[in-house]
Amino acid sequence: MIYVTGDTHGDIDRFKAPELKKLRSGDTLIICGDFGFIWDGSKREQANLKKLASKDYTIAFIDGCHENFDLLEKYPEYSWNGGTVHKIAENIFHLKRGEFYTIEGKKIFVFGGGHSQDYDFRRDSDNWWQREQPSHDEIKYALDQLEANGHKMDCVITHEPPAQLKDCLRVDVFQRLEVHAFFEEVIRTCEYDKWFFGKCHIDKHIPLKFFAVFNSVIPIK
């Protein structure tokens, strides 16, 4: 079974939740950005990664707005389920922007990254990376991938929400990035059953196809 959850921000206690304890060997947990366990390379962080690497299930995450991209990009690239990933451990993978992955027969399109809500406080520090914001080249690559796959997928996984949902979610109402225009193009031109996104730190279903996820663990059926 494939499950989707929201931002974990390096909180190992999230994996003690009853919903996650139900996952078994062969299952896959997809995290919608802000994984947070690759942040400072500390001994505590390495110990937490070892705990995650001991899980029977697979952990696959897209990047969000709070990742250490310098550390993340040091991990080797690897071909996994039809797309390119950064391989963190035998069962932990970073899903790259614009890739398609086929997991348990489900075709999943992913696109991480976004804009930090605390950008004004972090931009002049050593824990903010320009690469959190998707580039024009990454969006162009994603558009090419969508065309190559006939603009059809079972599921979309992003960190940012589509712009048209921001008013009803009451988040980043006045913020518009190039990636938001791209997401509107995906909505207009693509066929998909469900769209999951993190960032907002809420659990909310926006009928019919959109799911804001944070603490919830939702199966993809």
Task: Give the per-residue pLDDT at 221.
Answer: 85
Task: Give the per-residue pLDDT at 41.
Answer: 92
Average pLDDT (197-220) is: 94
Q: What secondary structure does DSSP assign to 76-129, as a single string?
A: PEEEETTEEEEEEETTEEEEPTT-EEEETTEEEEEE-----TTHHHHTTSTT--
Task: Give the per-residue pLDDT at 169.
Answer: 74
Average pLDDT (172-194) is: 84
Say what percent of the chain tops pLDDT 90: 79
Residue matched to tokens 């059809």? 152
CATH for 17: 3.60.21.10
Asked if residue 174 has pLDDT above 70, the reply is no
What's the rounded Cα separation, in Å, for the pair 198 and 212?
6
User: Structural domain tally of the chain?
Assistant: 1
Select the more confidently predicted residue: 203 or 170: 203
Select the more confidently predicted residue: 76 or 181: 76
pTM of the model: 0.93
Mean pLDDT of the chain, nearest integer: 91
Range of the domain at 64: 2-220
pLDDT digits (tens, 9 = 90+) for 99-157: 999 999 999 999 999 876 655 556 656 666 678 889 999 999 999 999 999 999 999 99
